[in-house]
Amino acid sequence: MKVLDVKDIAVKYGDLQALWGISFSVKKGQLVALIGANGAGKTTTLKSICGLAPLASGQIAYNDRVISGSPVHQVVDLGITLVPEGRQLFAKMTVEENLLVGAYLKRTHAKRAQTLKHVYSLFPRLEERRNQTAETLSGGEQQMVAIGRALMQDPQVIMFDEPSLGLAPLMVQEVFNVIQELHRQGLTIFLVEQNVHQTLKVADYCYVMENGRIVGEGTGKQLEADESIREAYLGF
Amino acid sequence: MPEPILKVDSVTKCFGGLTAVNNVSFQVQPGEIVGLLGPNGAGKTTLFNVISGYYAPTSGSITFKGQDISGKQPYTLATHGIGRTFQVVKPFAGLSVLENVVIASFLRYPKRADAERHAWQILESTGLADRANLSAASLTLAGRKRLEIGKALALEPSFLLLDEVVAGLNPTEADRTVELILQLKQQGMTILIVEHIMRVIMNISDRLVVLNFGEKIAEGAAAEVAKNPLVIEAYLGEAAA
Amino acid sequence: MKRSLLFTLSLITTLMLATTVFAEEARNFFKVGVVIELSGDLATGGNVTKRGYDLWAQEVNAKGGIDIKGKKYQVKLFYADAQSNPSSGASAAERLITQEHVDFILGPYSSGVTMAVAPVVEKYKIPMITGSAESPLIWTNKFVYTFGTVPPVNFSGATPINTLASLNPAPKTAVILGSNDTFSKATAEAFKAAAEHAKIKVLKFNIVPAGQDLTPLLSAVRGLKPDLIAFGGHDEELIKMVKSLRQIDYTPKALLMHYGVTEPAFVNALGKDANQVFGASVWTANAKTSSKILWPNAASYAAASMKAFNTPADYTQAGSSAAGIAFQVALQKIGATPGMSEAQRTSLVKALEQVDIDTFYGKVKFATSGQYYHANVGMTPLTVQIQDGKTVIVGPANIKDAAPQYPMKAWKGR
Amino acid sequence: MELLPQALMDGILLGGIYITIAIAFSLTYGVMHIIDFAVGEWIMFGAFAGFYLNKWTGLDPFLLLPVVFVIFGLIGCLIQPVIHRVLSGSKGNPLLMGLVFTFGLGLMFQGLAMTVFGFYSNSTPSMFSEGSFFFEKFGFSLTISTVRLAGLIYALAITMALHYLLKKTNFGLGVRALALNKDSAGLMGVNGKRTGALVYGLYVGVTAMTGVLIGCILSVSAGMGPQYTIFAFFVVVLAGMGYLAGVPWAALLLGMVQSIFLIYFDPGHTLLAVFAILYTILLISPKGLFGRGV
Amino acid sequence: MKDKIIRWGLPVLFVLIAMPAVIHDTFFLRVVTEAVMWIGLAIAFDVLAGYTGYLNFGHGAFFGLGAYTTALLMMKAGWPFALALPMGGVMAAVAALIAGFPTLRLKGAYFAIATWALSRAVQQLALIMDITGGPDGMRLPPFLNPQFFYYLMLAIVAATFALLWYLLEHSPFGLKLKAIREDEQGAMALGLNPTKLKMQAFILSAVPTGILGGVYAYWITFIDPASTLGDLISDQALVMVVFGGMGTLIGPVIGAILIFAFKTLFWAYLSDFQLLYLIILGAVIALSVVFMPNGLWGTLGGFKKKKRDHENKLETSLEARLQKNEGE
C-alpha cells in the first residue's frame, strides 16, 4: 500500500526551477532513501511534501488523500513529519520545550507526558540535559532532539533530511541505529542522505536524484552494482 | 621550491566554544590548483572565510605573497589580488548581469567606460555575453555560478578561491566549468577550490588538502590522498574503510 | 527632440491658463483673509480662534454689514490653513493676498506662525490683526502692519500674582514651572518677574520639556512646601499638572496657571478638581464691559457664542472677535470701501493706531511705541479663579465678582 | 538625599506605564517582525474607548478593561492579515515596508480621531484616581499615588500573564516556536497565519487597555498618540527588539532616568538626556541593553 | 538613459527657468519654490533609503542644522547669506560624519530608530540652548524677493539632481552602492568597502538637505525647533520617496510633485476638509505599500522592464536555438 505517492511534481523558486516533474512512492513500513549530490533537489522534494515549498505542477497524495496545496501545519497533522536539514531547533528554548513543541497538535497534546517518556527512554542523554537550551548542545545531541521532536508528533511517516550531516563517525552510526530502530518499530521512513554507503545498506529501496530529476532507482544492492550510477552520481 | 603564494600557518578559528578550524597549516604554490576537501561541516567554508578576510583567525597567520594578511578586510584583500566565489551564490539581484561584473571591474578600471569594456571581455570568456542585459536574478543556477566566477575574475586576481562552483550543475554544465578552470590554470592562475563532486576535484587538482572536524587529516596528490584510510573513513563513511 | 518641444510648449500654455489672474472686480463686500492653524499640533487653539472670527463675521452680516458712509458692506471670510507650520502660514498669507485679493487679514493663533506671516503682510502692505498670538517677541520686532488684540503675556501675567500677593496671609514662597514652548515659557518668566517684584520667594524655577510627565518633579516640589505653584503650559499639560498634584496628594495654598483654565475643556476634564485653580485672563463671560458695537457686553457675547457653537466662549475667542471689531471701527473711520488701494490700507494702519474703543471684550487700544508696539494695551488684565466649575473674576480688587477662595481646599476632601 | 526614595518610587511608577506601552509591542516584533508605528494610536483609541465607555456605562474604567481588550483584540485580528501581506511581499524591503505601512495607518488613525473626537483634551475618572498612600519613616516620606500604583500592578499583571501565556501554555509554546524558527514551527503543526493574527490581536488589545489606564493617569486627546509611540520605541529598542524579558528593565530605566533628571538635574534637559542615553546605548550595544535583540 | 535625461530634463529645466517670466503670480511661485525644495529633500533622502537601504528618520535634523547654521552665522556673526549658506551644507556634512560613523553599523529598524532618537536630541538641544532662541526660534532679516528664492532653490535642486544623477546612475559610485545594498558580504569580496561607501552616501544625502535648510530659513524668515527640526521633514520625505518609488531618482521627484501638489490643492481649495487630508494621505501610503511596493515609478517602470527582459530572453533563446542548429 502506498503511503506516500508523489506524481510528476515541479517546483520553481522565482525563475529557478528546482524540480522537473519527479515521481516516486513510499509503501507502508518501508525505508526509502533519496540520494544525490548537493543541490540536486532533495531538500526541495522533502519541503514540497510537507507543504513548505509550493508546487508549480503535479500532485502529492498521502494515504490516497491529496495533500499538495495544504499548508504545512495541516500536513503534519495527518502524520507526516520532517527532521529538517541542520536540525532547525528552537535555539533559545530548552531541550524539553523543544520536545514539547513537537506535541503542539491537539492530536498529540493529551498524551504528551507519555510520549515524552518514550523519547527520553530512546535518548537518555536528552533527559539529562532537559533544561539546557538547545543551542548549547553538541551536534549529535541536537540531532537527537530533532528526531525526538519529530517523534513527539506521533507520526506515521518520518522524513529525514541529511541526519548525519556534520556529525562525528560514532554519532553517525548512532543516528543510523536510531533510524533502523524506528523502521523496525513499523514507522514508514523517507531518508535523504549523502552518506551513501550507510544509506544503501539500510534502505529497502532507493531513488537517485540529479539536477531536479530522478535518474535512477532500485534496491541498495542494485544501485551499488550499477557502475554508471556509481561513477556519475556517487563520486566513487 | 619557489616562494609559496599563500601560506596558511597553524590557523585556528573559534566561534564561542566551537572550534571550526583547528590548527590548520598548508601552502599553495604559484600556478597550482589545490583542492580543499572534507565532508559537510568540516570547516572548509570557515577556512575560506578566514583566508578571504571575512573572519579574523583566532590564532595563527596567513601570508599572501610574503605579506601577512591575517585580519585584513576582504576589500583590501581584493586589491591584493585575491578573488573568491561564494558557495551560496547571491548575485546583486536588482542589477543586470553586466552591471554585476562591472562592479568588480571597477577595482582595476575605475572609469565606467573602461570597466564596461573589461566586463564585456569577462562575459565573453565566461559565456555570459548573450545574457548581459538580463537581470541577474533571472539566471539559472548554472548561470549564477558562472557569473560568480566572472565577478571574481573581473578583479584580475592572481589567486582564486572557488567555493563549490560545480556543485548542482548537470554534467554538461559541470564539464564546461571544469574546462574554464583548467583554462585559467593555463593562464597562470593559482586556485584553491572547495568541491564536493569527487570526480571533478580529483581531475583538476594538483594537490589536495583534506579537513575533518576542522583539522587537516591529509595532504598530497589526489591519488595518494584517495588511498588514505582516514580520508576514506571521513568521506565515505566507515563502510568503505 | 520634436516631441519634447511640443511637450514644452504645451506645458507653458497649461501653466499660463492655470494662472489666468482673477480680474479685480468691484465688489460690495469685504474680503477678509483668515490665516489660522486648522490642522497640526496647534489645531485646538486655531479652531478656538476661528470661532471668534466666525462669530464676528456672522454678527456683522446679521446686522447688514459694516456701515461705511451710510452704505452697508457685508464681510466674507477666506480661510487658509497654516497647518501649525510657519512656512505654510507664509504660503497661506501669500495666497490670500495674491489670489483672493483680501482687504485685510485676521491672524494666526500661535506666535511662531505669526512671526512667519508678518513679513509677508508687511511686503504686500496688508494690515493684519491677530486675535490670539501673545508672545512678547512679536511686538519687539515692530512690524508695521501687524496688530494684536490679546495683550502679551508679560503684560497680563503680573496681575494674578499681584492679586495673590494682596491676600492675607499672602503666599510667601512659590515654585514656578513653564513648559518649553514660546507662550508657556514667556508666561512662566512673567510669573517669575512678578513674584520677585511682589517679594514672593521663588524656591524653584524650571522650564520643562513640553508634554513631559511632571509627577517626579512635583514630588520634589512637594518637599519644598511652596505656598504657590504657578505653571505656564497648554491645555493638556495643565490637566496633567492638576492630576499629578492630586496623585501625589499635594495641595499648595494657591495653584496658578494662565488663561488655559478658562478653556471649557479644563473644567470638563477635571471636574471638581478644577475648582479653586487661579488663572490669568483679560476677559471672561462675566467681565464687566459695555459697548455700543455688536455686543453690548461680555454676557451677551457669551450667550451668542453658546447659541452659535454650543461652547462657552473663552478669552482667545473673544479677543479674536474683538480683532474684527477693531478693523470694523478703523474702516468706518477712514470710510474705506472694499477693494482698497495701497494708500487706503496705509491709512487703515494709521486708523488702527488711533483706535480707542470700548467693546464687549474691553478697551481696545494699540500701543504705538515701546516693547508692546501694536499690541493691545487698553485692557485690564484679570485674575480669575474656577469656582464651582465657573470662571469667576477675583481680581484686581476694584472689579472682582467674588472673593478669591484661598487657601485651596485639599484634593482629598472635595 | 531625602528625596531619593520618592525619586526612585516615581521612577518605578512611571516605568510601570512604559512597561504596559512596550511589552506587547515587543512581542509582536519578536514574533512577526512588525514595527508598528501606530502603537501610540492604539493607545489613543483605547483611551477614548475607556473614556466613552465610562461615560455611557458609569462603570469604573478598570472594570472596563476586559471589554476594551476584546473589542480591540478583534480589530487587531482583522487587520493583521493585511500587515502579513505587506511583510511577506517579495518586493523591496519588507521590514521597511511594514514600517511605512503602519506609519500610514497611524496618520489615518490620527485624522480619524481628530474628526471624530475633536481637539479637546480629556481625562477618564476612576475610583483609584482619588487617593494616595503616604509613608513617613526613618526621616523619609513617600507618597504613592493609588492610580499609578494600580497602573504598576496592571503592568506587572500583564507582564506575568504574558509570561505565563508564553512559558506555560501550549499556545505560548507555539508562539515562541514561531518567533524562533518559522519553518520548524510549521513542521510542528503551528498555524503561522492564525497564530500571527492572534498575537497581533493580543498586542492591539493589551495596548488599548494601556490606553484606558493612561486616560486615567494622564489625559485623553486625539493628538496624544505620537508621544507614546516614541516611548514604546525607546523601551523596545533599549530592551533589544523582540526580547520580552528586557522590557520591564528598559521601561524602569526610562522611568528612572526621567525621574532622577527631573529632580536632581535641570528638568529642561530631561528629554535630551533620554535621547542621548538611547543613542549611547545603541552605539555601545547595538542590540539593546542586554544584547539580546533580534 | 543619458539621452533620455537630456531629452526630458532640458525642456523641463527650460520651462522652469522661463516660468517666472510668464507667470507673475507670486503665490504660484511660492508654491512651486516649495515643491522644488521638497523634490530636493526627497531625492536626498532616497540616496540613503533607496540606494543603500537605510531609512534615515533623522533626515530632518540635517535640514534644521542647515537652517540654524545659516541663521546663526547671519544673525550672530554677521556673515552674508552667500557665505552662510554653504556653511549649512558643511555643518550637515560634519554632522553626518559624526552621526554616521556609529549609526551606520546598525541594521534596519535599529538604524531608523537611532537616527530618529538623534534627531529628537538635536531638537531638544535647539529648544534648550540660548543662542538658538529656544522655543522662540530665530528671525532672519526679510529679503522678500520671490524670484530670487525660486531661482536659488531651483539651482540648488537642479544641481543636486544632476550631481546625484551623475554619481548614482552614471558613475561607478551608484552601482557600488546598489551592490552593497543587495549583498554587503558579496560586495566586499569585489573590493568594495561598505563602511566607506555608506558614509559617502550619508554625507551625500546630508549636504543638499542642509543647504536647502539654509535657503528655507532665509526664505521663510523665521525658524523654530518645531518646524525645522520636527518630524515633518523626514516623514514627508519618506512618504514622497515610498510613494514615488525608492531606489530611483525619478521616483522621488514624481512622488514629491504628486504628494506636494495633492497636499497643496487640498490645503488651498478644500481647507474645510483639512482632517480628511490626514486620513487620505495615511490611506494612500498604506494602500500604495500594499499594492505598489515599488512605488509609482517602480511599478510603471517595472512593467516596462519586465517587457524588456522578456524580449531579451526571447532573443537570447532564439540565438541559442540558432547556434544549436548550426552545431548540429
3-state SS record for chain A: CEEEEEEEEEEEECCEEEEEEEEEEEECCCEEEEEECCCCCHHHHHHHHHCCCCCCEEEEEECCEECCCCCHHHHHHCCEEEECCCCCCCCCCEHHHHHHHHCCCHHHHCCHHHHHHHHHHHCHHHHHCCCCEHHHCCHHHHHHHHHHHHHHCCCCEEEEECCCCCCCHHHHHHHHHHHHHHHHCCCEEEEEECCHHHHHHHCCEEEEEECCEEEEEECHHHHHHCHHHHHHHHCC
- DSSP letter string, chain D: -TTHHHHHHHHHHHHHHHHHHHHHHHHHHHHH----TTHHHHHHHHHHHHHHHHHHH---HHHHHHHHHHHHHHHHHHHHHHHHHHHT-SSS-HHHHHHHHHHHHHHHHHHHHHHHH-S--B----GGGS-EEEEEETTEEEEEEHHHHHHHHHHHHHHHHHHHHHHHSHHHHHHHHHHH-HHHHHHTT--HHHHHHHHHHHHHHHHHHHHHHHHHHS-B-TT-HHHHHHHHHHHHHHH-TT-GGGHHHHHHHHHHHHHHHHHHS-GGGHHHHHHHHHHHHHHH-TTTTTT---
Q: Count Cβ–Cβ pairs < 8 Å, chain A vs chain B.
A: 61
Q: What pLDDT, on a 0 to 100 scale, did the predictor assign at position E258? A: 92
The chain-wide mean pLDDT, for chain D, equals 89
H or E element: which one contains C254? Answer: strand C254-257
Q: pLDDT tens, C291-311?
A: 999 999 999 999 999 999 988
Residue E304 banded pLDDT, cuts 50, 70, 90: low
Q: How many angstroms separate the CA atoms of C67 and E120, rounded?
A: 53
Same domain, yes or no, for B85 and B161? Answer: yes
Higher pLDDT, D13 or C18: D13
Q: Which residue has the higher pLDDT, A227 or B218?
A: B218
Asked whether the predicted pLDDT for residue A56 surpasses 70, the reply is yes
For residue D22, give Cα distances in angstroms to D12, D79, D156, D211, D234: 15, 20, 12, 12, 9
Q: Calculate the CA dihedral of residues C122, C128, C134, C137 and round it to 10 degrees.
A: 10
In chain B, the number of structural domains is 2
Q: Return d(Cα B134, Cα E308) in angstroms, integer.
A: 9
User: Is residue B143 in some structural domain?
Assistant: no
pLDDT of residue B213: 81
Q: What is the pLDDT of residue E315?
A: 44
For cell 502660514, the residue is C89
> Residue B111: inside a domain, yes or no?
yes
Would residue B200 count as lying in a domain? yes
User: Do residues B54 and B36 both lie within one domain?
Assistant: yes
CB contacts, 8 Å: E242 with chain D: 100
D143 and C219 within 8 Å at the Cβ level: the answer is yes
Which residues span the domain enclosing B116? Answer: 92-138
Q: What is the mean pLDDT of residues D257-270?
A: 90
Strand partners, C107: none
pLDDT digits (tens, 9 = 90+) for C343-352: 999 999 999 9
Task: Check pLDDT > 80 for residue C144.
Answer: yes
Q: Do B140 and A15 touch (CB under 8 A)?
A: yes
Cβ-Cβ contacts under 8 Å, A102 against chain D: 188
CA distance B101 to B154: 7
* pLDDT cut 90: percent of chain D above it: 52
- CB-CB contact of B34 with B226 (8 Å): no
- Kindly state whether residue B149 falls inside one of the protein's structural domains: no
pLDDT at site B17 = 67
Residue C24 has pLDDT above 60, yes or no: no
Predicted local distance difference test score (pLDDT) of residue A231? 57
Q: How far is A14 from chain B (nearest CA, A)?
A: 8
pLDDT band at C20 (very low <50, low <70, confident <90, very high): very low
Determine which helix (DSSP H) or strand (DSSP E) holds B182, and give its type and residue range: helix B171-186
- Residue among C81, C87, C122 minimizing CB distance to E34: C87
Q: How many residues does chain E have?
A: 328
| Residue E300 C-alpha, separation from nearest chain B C-alpha, in angstroms | 16
More confident residue, D131 or E182: E182
Res C28 pLDDT > 70: yes
Structural domain includes residue D291: no
Which of A40, A165, A168 is the closest to B40 by Cβ? A165
Task: Give the nearest chain C residue to D266 (CA atoms).
Answer: C206
Q: How far is E194 from chain B (nearest CA, A)?
A: 9
Q: Which of A128, A178, A115 is nearest to A137 (CA)?
A: A128
Secondary structure element (H or E) that encloses residue B235, with its range: helix B229-236
Is D96 in contact with E290 (Cβ distance < 8 A)? no
Check CB contact of E109 with chain D, cutoff 8 Å.
yes
What number is the average pLDDT over the span A99-121?
A: 91
Q: Which residue of D has its CA nearest to A98?
A: D177
Cβ separation of A52 and D186 shorter than 8 Å?
yes
Contact A169 B233 (CB under 8 A): yes
Under a CB-based contact definition with an 8 Å cutoff, are residues D35 and D101 in contact?
Answer: no
**Cell (9 digits) for E141:** 532679516
The CATH number of whichever domain residue D245 belongs to comes to: 1.10.3470
Q: A35 CB near a chain B CB, below 8 Å?
A: no
Q: What is the DSSP string of C191-251?
A: HHHHHHHTT-EEEEEEEE-TT---HHHHHHHHHH--SEEEEE--HHHHHHHHHHHHHTT--
Summary mean pLDDT of chain C: 89
Q: Is residue B148 part of a domain?
A: no
Cβ atoms of B193 and B47 closer than 8 Å: no
Q: Which H or E run includes C66?
A: strand C66-68
C contacts of D122 (beta carbons < 8 Å): 239, 265, 268-269
**Buried/exposed D121-137: b ≥16 CB within 10 Å, e otherwise:** bbbbbbebbbbbeeeee
Q: Which residue has better confidence, B235 or B166?
A: B166
Contact E189 B74 (CB under 8 A): yes
The answer to whether the CB of D199 falls within 8 A of the CB of D28 is: yes
Write down the pLDDT at residue C219: 87
Average pLDDT over residues C326-339: 92
Beta carbons within 8 Å of B213's beta carbon, 6+ residues apart: A168, B22, B42, B43
User: Min CA distance, C251 vs chain D (Å)?
Assistant: 13
pLDDT of E280 over the 70 cut: yes
For C183, the enclosing helix (H) or strand (E) is: helix C182-197
**Taking a C-beta distance cutoff of 8 angstroms, is the pair C188, C205 a contact?**
yes
State whether residue E311 sits within 8 Å of chain B by CB: no
One domain, residues B124 and B210: no
In a domain, B147, yes or no: no
Q: Within an 8 Å CB–CB cutoff, is residue A38 touching chain B?
A: yes
Dist. CA B43–CA B12, nearest whole Å: 10
Chains that touch C (3 or more CB pairs under 8 A): D, E
- What homologous superfamily is domain C27-152+287-372 in, according to CATH? Response regulator (3.40.50.2300)
Residue D91 has pLDDT above 80, yes or no: no
Does the residue D171 lie in any domain?
Answer: yes
Going by beta carbons, is chain A in contact with chain C, meaning 3 or more pairs sit under 8 Å apart? Answer: no
Which comes out higher in pLDDT, residue D219 or B202?
D219
Q: Which of C101-105, D68-72, D137-141, D255-259 has the lowest mean pLDDT?
A: D137-141
Convert the pLDDT of each residue in B108-163 to its tens digit.
999 888 999 999 999 998 888 888 988 887 787 788 888 999 999 999 999 999 98
Q: Look at A194 and B40 and tell me if their CB atoms are within 8 Å.
A: yes
Is residue D166 a part of any domain in this protein? yes
Does residue D240 register a pLDDT over 80? yes
Lowest mean pLDDT among A97-106, D211-220, E112-121: E112-121
Contacts of residues C155-158 at CB distance under 8 Å and 24 or more positions apart, as own/partner, are C155/C372, C155/C375, C155/C377, C155/C381, C156/C190, C156/C280, C156/C281, C156/C282, C156/C379, C156/C381, C157/C186, C157/C187, C157/C190, C157/C191, C157/C193, C157/C194, C157/C258, C157/C280, C157/C381, C158/C190, C158/C193, C158/C194, C158/C197, C158/C381
In the prediction, which pLDDT does B239 show? Answer: 43
Contact E135/D at CB under 8 A? no
Q: What type of residue is E291? A: F
What is the pLDDT, as a whole number, of residue E328? 32
Q: Above 60 in pLDDT, residue E156?
A: yes
Question: Is the pLDDT at C265 greater than 70, yes or no?
Answer: yes
Sign of the Cα pseudo-torsion (A89, A94, A97, A99, in order): positive
Give the phi and the psi of residue C364 in degrees, each rounded to 5: -110, 120
Q: Is the dihedral of CA C271, C275, C278, C280 positive or negative?
A: positive
| Same-domain check for residues B219 and B112 | no
pLDDT at C162: 92
Q: How many of the other CB atoms lie within 10 Å of CB of B79?
A: 14
| CA gap A43, A36 in Å, rounded | 10
Structural contact between residues E5 and E162, judged by C-beta atoms closer than 8 angstroms: no
Q: Which residues of E touch C85 (CB under 8 A)?
A: 227, 232
Q: Give the pLDDT score at E302.
A: 61
Minimal-distance CA residue of chain C relative to D270: C209
**What's the average model confidence in pLDDT over B215-230?**
84
Helix, strand or coil, per DSSP, at residue B129: helix
Mutation target among D3, D10, D142 for the C interface, most CBs of C within 10 A: D10
Number of separate domains in chain D: 1
Tens of pLDDT, residues B174-213: 888 888 899 999 998 999 998 877 777 888 899 999 888 8
A173-187, C36-50, C190-204, C313-327: the lowest-pLDDT one? C36-50
Question: Which residues of D make CB contacts under 8 Å with C?
Answer: 2-3, 6-7, 10-11, 13-14, 114, 119-123, 125, 129-132, 134, 141, 143, 145-148, 217-219, 221, 223-224, 227, 258-260, 262-263, 266-268, 270-271
Chain D to chain E Cβ contacts (< 8 Å) = 126
Give the per-residue pLDDT at E3. Answer: 63
Q: Which of B99, B107, B131 sits opposite E191 (nearest CB)?
A: B107
Model confidence at D256, in pLDDT bands (50, 70, 90)? very high
Question: Per the domain annotation, does B168 fall within a domain?
Answer: yes
Q: What is the pLDDT of residues D70-82, one digit of tens each?
A: 999 999 999 999 9
Per residue in E17-59, pLDDT tens? 888 888 888 888 999 999 999 999 999 999 998 888 888 989 9
pLDDT value for C279: 93
Indicate if B176 and B110 belong to the same structural domain: no
Query: And the C-alpha cell for B215?
Result: 583539522
Q: Helix/strand/coil (H, E, C) string of chain E? A: CHHHHHHHHHHHHHHHHHHHHHCCCHHHHHHHHHHHHHHHHHHHHHHHHHHHCCCCCCHHHHHHHHHHHHHHHHHCCCCCHHHHHHHHHHHHHHHHHHHHHHHCCCCHHHHHHHHHHHHHHHHHHHHHCCCCCHHHCEECCCCCCHHHHHHHHHHHHHHHHHHHHHHHHHCHHHHHHHHHHHCHHHHHHCCCCHHHHHHHHHHHHHHHHHHHHHHHHHHHCEECHHHHCCCHHHHHHHHHHHHHCCCCCHHHHHHHHHHHHHHHHHHHHCHHHHHHHHHHHHHHHHHHHHHCCCHHHHHHHHHHHHHHHHHHHHHHHHHHHHHHHHHC
Q: Give span(s): CATH 3.40.50.2300, chain C.
A: 27-152+287-372, 155-284+381-413
Asked whether residue B1 is domain-assigned, the answer is no
Q: Percentage of residues in chain C with pLDDT exceeding 90?
A: 59
Distance of CA D144 to the CA centre of its chain: 22
Query: Do B222 and B165 share a structural domain?
Result: yes
Q: Which residues of D touch A149 (CB under 8 A)?
A: 188
Interface check B3 vs E, CB under 8 A: no
What structural domains does chain E harbor?
A: 2-274 (1.10.3470)
Query: Which CATH code of 3.40.50.300, 3.40.50.11930, 3.40.50.2300, 1.10.579.10 fits the domain covering C155-284+381-413?
Result: 3.40.50.2300
Query: The domain spanning residue B46 has which CATH number?
Result: 3.40.50.300
Dump pLDDT digits (tens) for C281-291. 889 888 888 99
Nearest neighbour of A104 by CB, restricted to D180, D189, D193: D189
B72 and B103 in a single domain? The answer is no
Residue A234 has pLDDT above 70, yes or no: no
How many CB pairs lie under 8 A apart between chains C and E?
A: 119
Instruction: Please indicate whether, in this complex, the C-beta atoms of C265 and D122 are within 8 angstroms of each other.
Output: yes
How close B59 comes to chain E (CA, Å)? 22
Q: Is E170 on the interface with B (CB under 8 A)?
A: yes
Domain that holds residue D76: 4-284
Residues B79, B59 within the same domain = yes
- Say yes or no: B134 contacts chain E, CB-CB below 8 A: yes
Whether residue D100 and residue E242 make contact (CB cut-off 8 A), yes or no, is yes
